[in-house]
Structure 1
């Protein structure tokens, strides 16, 4: 996946449909697609439900009891629509090459929109790859936060909840996470990582359940449901507007997985048609995701009201039982191991297809064959994400801000334009107006959320 790698008619971006077998983009080997709706759901849930689910209570606290749940349901619907549009772009019919597969997001944009402007592919490829790389850095940073939270939980248990309990060692934790990723990165591709995604999805369910359970226990202990209709009151209207903007952005950006959707769809077996299986997996996963988001967000706000922390586990809204907090944070780290791979394998796949050579014999391993380029490139890639996380621990704010500004083009505009092109929708018809109306509404919301994200980042830097 990337902005480079061939022009619109080089044949790299899509290959002939050969039943269950299809050549890779480089034509080096055949890939048997065995994925099902269950493996697709595992990939999706691993990609979508991150530790950010525990931060949604803060967003609900800003929006209140009406706005918070309504925003979660609305953005779940937006994600369902845009993911369905992308899913239909996997198989395309070319007059010269016949039925072809678009194995990545950039491949689909190049095929459907490349003839309109080469800037489309350049913009899409650059920001897509930067977002994927940035996600790897953010996951490395987040893993260190959860590991540090385990230390703090143990300290609070020993010394009391008011103890300073300042712990360090973030760089050490990031290096451990990076070493684990060096090993996991040798998984050949999406087709072989279903087991890792299932494991990571189970871990995400566990810590989400812990957050829900602790929220229920806190509400029962309080004997009252905290919070209000309008959310946390602010000193000024301007401050409230920015908080609402940030909260909407947090919820909006917590759902989509468009960056890796076509890679996931490329693992599915056929029949039934891949887009039908993908749509079923997508809708089911979004319902599950929305359920957990609503539970964690609403129960967290009900438990803490105006004092809702930024993260229910790492922000220490809960202190006891400390062993459960430790276990939940450990599950976050284990989930991030799989989540990192979901967002990194597309980059590895692109590099393998366009730059990877044949497997070379390594005498130390006897008869086993190792692709030297794959080993070196993937190790260097993981080292780069780890090094940037260690040297620039505020990178997650940068990538969050960039994600806010690129969300609409990548998640809404390109899917809409590809759908219109693929289905040859006549301009100014009812369908054309409805789809462009959907895109325009999303643009306004994304612009509002992006400004709020910018204010939040620069405000935190100057405070």
Structure 2
């Protein structure tokens, strides 16, 4: 069999049959569609962050809450369409592919912004894996507590440690982390997407039912009251971070786009359609869940609608929702960790191309195990699990992750890449608009980060690490 080198496939070479299994860059043919890309995005976006939206809305009130949510959704969609344009450098159908976010930044912008992208993106992905471990353990813990409350009454503490549940979640992730890449986890993303709609729908339904039982909407125009002016400021800023986290998926957008089959149509057009479908669907769910949760509980909305026990009954339905959260987070964890896994393993393959420890692979169904992959991915999952045990603050972790990465990953780099890629004239209306968007995004991100740090410090003062 003739060995096919990238970009050297021809009829004259006699290898055209083998070429049908390859894309224009010599890699195995991509098969992703609008459907699979949408599933990946929904899995990444509709995460546990949706459950913190009633609390975020409570900090902002009935006027600012919906406005802020609409603005974040609109900005995320717009900048995502710009980022999708940068998957190929140059021509949208024949230009050089950028397999990862950081590769796109290196190819189009270069310089210090490559380091900025790398540090922020991978720190965010690692932080998200920790946050999802916390969220999954809280949901599993809530299943046990719901049964306890049902059996013994709502005034019984029913306390239990989250540590065993983090270990269970970590063990599951060690297994699923042996799925090699995005191309192989499409089925897990679809299952996770279904689960996300399941628990969001249950939360929405319970919120509507409680609102009806209350005889009307709770909440106020200005949001949470009964706190000091400083607490109001910090909580408001933390709420901005929570909403930013709920919408963000720029850190995995390019990697998802790299699963889409070759043009025509261009990967950018397919990704933009998938982004539009995803953002419309998630925004509708976010609005309904956030607003109905606030309508049900008013300014006393818990920081997690289901695990904070805003609802006790029917306990089996609350249990079902929490099972769906845990299953969803198994898939979401993989979506966010695959870029980290791929980065380390590509680096190892370049460093030791002839090492059987790195390259010798055993395939079993969707799983592909190498000695290096097994060792490194297991170590990563174990480390993220240990950190989650030490810092199980769901709300403030979510807010901090969203705040610190919103400006560089969702606004700055996509707009700068688009300006360079499409040669937007300096001083033109579009150029000025993109620059203004960047400045406003920076201000919001800095303010939200400050609020999240204040919330983290407050939580840490009350908590002893590893106490569960």
**Does 2:408 match 1:409?**
yes
d(CA) in 1 for partners of 2:292 and 2:397? 30
Matched, 1:158 2:115: no
CA distance, structure 1, for counterparts of residue 119 and residue 176 of structure 2: 25
Q: 1:244 aligns with which of 221, 236, 240?
A: 236
Residue matched to 1:7? none
1:253-274 deviations in whole A, cap 9, x for unaligned?
Answer: 2101000000100001132110
Counterpart in the other structure of 2:457:
458
Structure 1 position 192, deviation (Å): 1.2
The answer as to 2:353 corresponding to 1:353 is: no
3-state DSSP of counterpart to 1:288: helix
Alignment of 1:273-352 (within 5 A): 273-352=266-345
Q: How many correspondences in the alignment?
A: 436
In structure 2, C-alpha distance between the alignment counterparts of 1:402 and 1:16, rounded to whole Å? 44
Aligned to 1:201, the other structure's residue is in SS state: helix
TM-score, normalised relative to structure 2:
0.87
Moved more, 421-430 or 351-360: 351-360
Rounded Cα–Cα distance in structure 1 between residues aligned with 2:24 and 2:344? 16
Q: Does 1:113 align with 2:109?
A: yes
Distance verdict in 2 for CA 1:332–1:235, change over 3 Å: closer
Report which stretch shifted further, 204-213 or 386-395: 386-395
Aligned mates of 1:52, 1:103 — CA distance in 2? 27
Specify whether residues 162 and 184 from structure 1 end up closer, same or farther in structure 2 by C-alpha distance, changes over 3 A only: same
Residue of structure 1 equivalent to 2:3: none
Change (3 A) 1:104 1:205: same
Q: Is 1:57 the counterpart of 2:54 in the alignment?
A: yes
How many angstroms does 1:352 deviate by? Answer: 2.8
Partner of 1:179: 171
Q: Deviations over 1:336-393 (max 9, x none)?
A: 000000001111222232213564377x99xx98532222222222222223223444
Which stretch of structure 1 is more off in the superposition, 420-429 or 374-383?
374-383
Q: CA 1:237/1:273 → structure 2, altered by over 3 Å: closer, same or farther?
A: same
How far does residue 402 in structure 1 lie from its aligned partner after superposition?
5.4
Q: Which runs of 5+ in 1 are unaligned?
A: 1-13
CA contact (8 A) 2:131 2:397 kept: no
Query: Which moved further from structure 2: 225-234 or 40-49?
Result: 225-234
RMSD (Å) for aligned C-alpha atoms: 2.5
Q: Measure the CA separation in 1 of the matches of 2:417 and 2:314.
A: 50
Matched-pair contact (CA < 8 Å) for 2:238–2:400: no
* Partner Cα separation in structure 2 for residue 72 and residue 429 of structure 1: 29
| More deviation, 377-386/421-430 | 377-386
1:138 and 1:396 in contact (8 A); partners too: no
Question: Could you list the per-position Cα deviations for residues 281-313 of structure 1 after superposition, in whole angstroms to 9, with x for gaps in the alignment?
Answer: 101101111111111111111111122111111
How far apart are the structure 1 equivalents of 2:278 and 2:171?
30
- In the alignment, which residue of structure 2 is the partner of 1:430? 429
Is structure 2 residue 124 aligned with structure 1 residue 131? yes
